[in-house]
Chain A
Amino acid sequence: MAGFIIRRVLNLIPVAFVVLLVTFSLIHIAPGNPAYTILGDQASKSAVQLLDRKMGLNRPLVVQFLTYLNQVIHGNLGRSLLDNEPVASLIVTRLPVTLELSVLAIALSLAVALPIGVLAAYHANTWVDSLSRVLALIGAAVPNFWLALLLVYVFAVSLRWLPSLGWVPLNQGVGQNLEHLILPVVVLALPLIATTSRVLRGTLIEVLHLLYIQVARAKGLQERTVVLRHGFKNALIPVVTVVGMQVGLLLGGVVITESIFSLPGMGQLVVDAIFDRDYMVLQGSVLFMAMAVLLANLIVDLCYAWLDPRIRYN
């Protein structure tokens, strides 16, 4: 087990390298220069050159990349080109928002998707199943920006039940904090609910046809115990895989959702960094998010062993 974890963590290194290389190349291929963002376009050529030199942007790209790589290896993500803040501290201030949003979205999606999936599987090909299929289709098909605006219109503008946007930190009131997160969390959770519930339904139907389920029934176990204890747990592995993959999807959705709801999280940080050509902030945050996705997947893999004791990592 320990060996497995170490190997997986070591695997992060080449992935991190590729992520850095791709991010660095993409943002440098895009036209534009942070010096213009700082100085304005009326800046003289000489002022731009002076600033380029100060920021080290006049050096060959390979040199810039290797310098940056060397910094990152030493645990230093550098400083924002725009306001000189350390990238690590920018990430730390933005992280709680995105983390809370993502954790709540996954929690909500599981809380809704698991019961729906079980019901749909147990009542496969009845109206319950059809209803859950329609709901899943809607959840998967509705674009989240449109859903966000629709929910705001209904729950904030018309009914006035919830705030339409903004963020209150947890330490300024849990109630207010949650109130501001309800709509964004629902927007993020809906597509997750759709996928998770369909995957669970599919696997559970298969599992419920397996022999040991019939044995369990033959033993005279209660239907409830058969489905939930014997069926459900064994149908969970593909579900866990899907949830792990959704972490990546979720971080993509967070970018749009945070911007619509004016939530000061990682998504907004990345979007601003792209527009301002703040290379340092962009590279640092993309690297961080990529690592977060990989770690989430590692945790998922470890969950397999817990769910199915037959799985061993050697």
Chain B
Amino acid sequence: MAVSKAVTIASSALLLAALSSQGVFAAHVRPAGTSHSGPRYGGTLNVGVDSDFVTLDPALSSALIDRQALINIFDPLLKLSPTMQVEPNLVTHWTISNGGKTYALYLRHGVKFQDGTPFNAQAVVYNWKWEMNPKNASPRISDLTLVKSLSTPNPYEVVVNLSAPYTPFLSVLAGRTGMISSPTAMKKEGKNYPDHPVGTGPFEVVSWNPEGNLVLKKNPYYWQKGKPYLNKVVYTPIVEPTQEYDALLTGQEDLIDSVPYQDVNSIKSQPGIHSEVMNGLGTTSLELNTTYGPLKNYHNRSAINYAINRKALIDLIFFGHTKPAYSQYPPSSWAYNPNLKIPYSIADAKKQLKLAGDPHGFTVTLQMENDTTDEQMGEAIASELAKVGITVKLEPLDFTTLLTNAVDGNYEFNILGWSGRPDPDQNSYAFDTTGGSFNFPKYSNPEVNKFLLQAREAPTEAQRKILYNDAAKIILQQAPYIFIAYTPVIQAWSSKVEGYREYPDDLMRLANVWLK
């Protein structure tokens, strides 16, 4: 119902590589007030998630929700810190050479899969070759398109040769492409592997019922000694947001992946419940088809950009629990620039309409998901734009139709969020460059192409940040997208849950969690 859900579903279809990482954060995450008693072993954690899992094979998963389970079954090669920086995990260190085209990855020794077989360079290469084989229809293939060759000089080293420099490659290794399955289990299970996945993570799969519940238990081979603390984790998909929230209040669940925005204030007064609102990775935004109708003219797009009162929309939809957005790089990203913004100004909007030659406005059709929140947002946008003479016709659609129309360019203007990824490249390159796979506005600007390509190849974060900002300024001004708000991450858990930490990528890492 809430935008969080729209965005979750959006991205589960919009999929992409995913970010993710391992919650192997150690003692410093221990919450205040628990220092006198150390972690307690045992117990079952009940976790509510907002949709059904689709597959548990990281090589086949494209739904966003799958990552909630995968992050705990599979330890990715690299992990993300709470500030979304890439850190060593199963890959302990790496070197980049040959102008950014050769990556040597050094693997941790002594790691075993949950079936007791060793984790090594052969396993990594076996997984990637499987994913790169088009016959297997793996969504991971898009992360690996630049891979020219793979080699294993020794059992603990993988050398990756890329056909072009690609700085975000390390971030890819912290997502599903970095989640390695046991080749023995893959061969043994064949087509049934997605129901019986075997990884290196803190928890292994016990059962995945058709009823929707997923049960995990402690992995006895886990490489971090003494972890995890929990014996069992049970995931229950709850598609109705109010019901998920109620399940936490009644104690049926101990931890839930989202809280409806309208309940965020009341949850604070609930005894025995903790909740945190955090900047996420995604944005709630509008896409404007730049090749068709009145929005082909950039002054008309710009008029919309000025005429939308982001603050009012945030109060209406998010109950004030987030910040207005002006770019694809949210406050949780190192590429965020707080100074990039445009004012809410009816006068400027009217000026732009005059420049476009449409001083009395025009009529456009806005497509959105047929979901309470999105329709509410559509109505609010229509009433704001009516103030400058733009008539908005609303066309609510089911999500698959909305997305198909966007892919086919069969729309003028739509509401389509993006769940976001930790590396800025993953939030911009495919969206903004000419012919990019997510460039539904069909926007094309040689300068933006140049900046974003350079950012892929630039070796340092500081250099990349400048390039992303240069591109972001053009995008804001040209308005192929109009960014409304950064999507917040809001999770909640019972006070008997200890050692839990919320991350901007929304993934619930459970290796450090224990029950009081």
Residues of A within 8 A of B (CB): 30-33, 36-44, 46-47, 50-51, 54, 82-84, 90, 93-94, 97, 149, 152-153, 156-157, 160, 163-167, 169, 259-262, 264, 268, 272, 274-277
Which residues in A have their C-beta under 8 angstroms from that of B147?
none
CA A274 to CA B238, docked complex, whole Å: 18
**Minimum distance in angstroms from A54 CB to a CB of chain B:** 8
Q: Give the distance to chain A from B390, nearest Cβ to Cβ, in Å.
A: 27
Binding site for A on B (CB under 8 A): 13-17, 52, 54-55, 60, 62, 134-135, 137, 139, 141-142, 191, 194, 209-212, 236-240, 242-243, 246-247, 249-250, 252, 398-401, 403-405, 407-408, 410, 430, 437-438
18 A-B residue pairs with CB within 8 Å:
A31-B408, A37-B13, A39-B137, A40-B14, A47-B141, A51-B137, A84-B191, A93-B210, A152-B246, A157-B250, A160-B250, A163-B252, A164-B246, A259-B239, A262-B212, A262-B236, A262-B243, A272-B52
Residues in B with CB closer than 8 Å to A149 are 240, 242-243
Contacts of B142 in A (CB 8 A): 40, 42-44
Could you say which of A40, A54, A264 contacts B16, with CB atoms under 8 Å apart? A40
B401/A32 in contact, CB under 8 A: yes
Please determine whether B437 and A41 come into contact, CB atoms closer than 8 angstroms. Answer: yes
Is the pair B137, A264 in contact by a Cβ cutoff of 8 Å?
A: no
B15, B17, B243, B408: the one contacting A260 at CB < 8 Å is B243
Contacts of B401 in A (CB 8 A): 30-32
Q: Which residues in A have their C-beta under 8 angstroms from that of B243? A: 149, 152, 164-165, 260-262
* B-side contacts of A43, CB under 8 Å: 139, 141-142
CA distance A17 to B440 in the complex (A): 39
Instruction: Report the bound CA distance from A82 to B60 in whole Å.
Output: 10
Q: Which of A30, A40, A42, A167 contacts B400 (CB 8 A)?
A: A30
Cα of A152 to Cα of B5 in the assembled complex, Å: 21
Whole-angstrom CA separation of A277 from B16 in the bound complex = 19
Chain A residues with CB under 8 A of B249: 157
User: Do A41 and B13 touch (CB < 8 A)?
Assistant: yes
A277 contacts B400, C-beta separation under 8 Å: yes
- A47 near B134 (CB under 8 angstroms)? yes
Q: Which of A37, A83, A156 contacts B250 (CB 8 A)?
A: A156
CB distance from A253 to the nearest CB of B (A): 15
Nearest residue, chain A, Cβ from B192: A84
Q: How far in angstroms is the closest Cβ of chain A from B343?
A: 34
Q: Which 5 A-B pairs have the closest CB atoms?
A: A40-B15, A32-B400, A31-B404, A40-B62, A40-B139
Measured between C-beta atoms, what is the minimum distance from A161 to chain B in Å?
A: 10
Which of B17, B60, B398, B437 lies in contact with A275, CB distance below 8 A? B398
Find out whether the CB atom of B238 lies under 8 angstroms from the CB atom of A262.
Answer: yes
Contact A153 to B246, CB < 8 A, known contacts A165-B252, A166-B252, A264-B212: yes
Minimal Cβ-Cβ distance residue in A for B243: A165
**Bound-complex Cα distance A276 to B236 (A):** 20
Q: Which residue of A lies closest to B14 (CB)?
A: A41
Residues on B with beta carbons closer than 8 Å to the beta carbon of A90? 210
Which residues of the partner chain B approach A32 to less than 8 Å between Cβ atoms? 400-401, 403-404
User: 5 more A-B contacts (CB under 8 A) besides A33-B404, A47-B137, A167-B211?
Assistant: A41-B16, A83-B55, A83-B194, A163-B250, A165-B247
B130 CB to closest chain A CB (Å) equals 15
In whole angstroms, how far apart are the Cα atoms of A39 and B13 in the complex? 9
A22 to chain B, nearest CB (A): 18
How far does the Cβ of A96 sit from chain B's closest Cβ, in whole Å?
10
Residues of A within 8 A of B210 (CB): 90, 93-94, 264
Nearest chain A CB to B106 CB, angstrom units: 29
Complex-state Cα separation, A51 to B141, whole angstroms: 14
For A37, list chain B residues within 8 Å (CB): 13, 62, 400
Which chain A residues lie closer than 8 Å to B134 at the CB level?
46-47, 50
Min Cβ gap B364→A in Å is 20
Q: Are A260 and B240 CB-contacts (below 8 A) given A32-B400, A51-B137, A165-B252? A: yes
- Closest Cβ of chain B: how far from A187's Cβ, in Å? 13
How many angstroms between the C-alpha atoms of A82 and B240 in the bound complex?
Answer: 23
* Known contacts A169-B211, A264-B211; A39/B62 CB under 8 A: yes
A94 CA to B209 CA, complexed, in Å: 11
Q: How many angstroms between the C-alpha atoms of A54 and B513 in the bound complex?
A: 44
A260-B240, A262-B236 known; A31 and B405 CB under 8 Å? yes
In whole angstroms, what is the CA distance A93 to B212 when docked?
Answer: 11
Q: Is the beta-carbon distance between B240 and A42 smaller than 8 angstroms?
A: no
Q: Which residues of B lie under 8 Å from residue A42 when comparing CB positions?
A: 15-17, 139, 142, 430, 437-438
Q: With A31-B405, A163-B250, A264-B210 as given contacts, are A41 and B137 in contact (CB-CB < 8 Å)?
A: no
Closest-CB distance, A149 to chain B (whole angstroms)? 6
Shortest distance between the CB of A112 and any CB in chain B (Å): 26
CB distance from B42 to the nearest CB of A (A): 22
Task: Report chain A residues within 8 Å CB of B13.
Answer: 36-37, 40-41
Per the bound structure, the CA–CA distance linking A41 and B403 in Å amounts to 9
Q: In the complex, what residues of B have CB within 8 A of residue A160's CB?
A: 250
Contact between B211 and A41, CB atoms less than 8 A apart:
no
User: Which of chain B's residues have a CB closer than 8 A to the CB of A277?
Assistant: 400
How far apart are B353's CB and chain A's nearest CB, in angstroms? 32
- Shortest Cβ distance from residue B210 to the other chain A in the assembled complex, whole angstroms: 4
B209 proximity list for chain A (CB < 8 A): 264
A97 to B213, CA, bound (A): 15
Q: How far is the CA of A50 from the CA of B141 in the complex (A)?
A: 14
- Taking the closest CB of chain A, its distance from the CB of B258, in whole angstroms, is 15
Identify B54's interface contact among A31, A82, A163, CB under 8 A. Answer: A82
Which residues on A sit within 8 Å (CB–CB) of B194? Answer: 83
Interface hub of B17, B60, B210, B405 (most chain A Cβ within 10 A): B210
Residues on B with C-beta less than 8 A from A97 are 211
Q: Which residues of B contact A272 (CB under 8 A)?
A: 52
CA distance A300 to B405 in the complex (A): 46
Residues of A within 8 Å of B55, CB to CB, are 83
Cβ–Cβ contact A156 & B54, under 8 A: no
Residue in chain B with minimal CB distance to A145: B240
Give Cα distance in the complex from A90 to B210, angstroms: 8
Chain B residues with CB under 8 A of A36: 13, 403-404, 407
Assess the B62–A38 pair: CB atoms within 8 A. Answer: yes
A82–B63 CA distance with the chains assembled, in angstroms: 12
List chain A residues, Cβ under 8 A from B398: 30, 274-275
A39 to B407, CA, bound (A): 14
Least Cβ–Cβ distance between A4 and chain B, in angstroms: 38
A244 to B250, CA, bound (A): 38
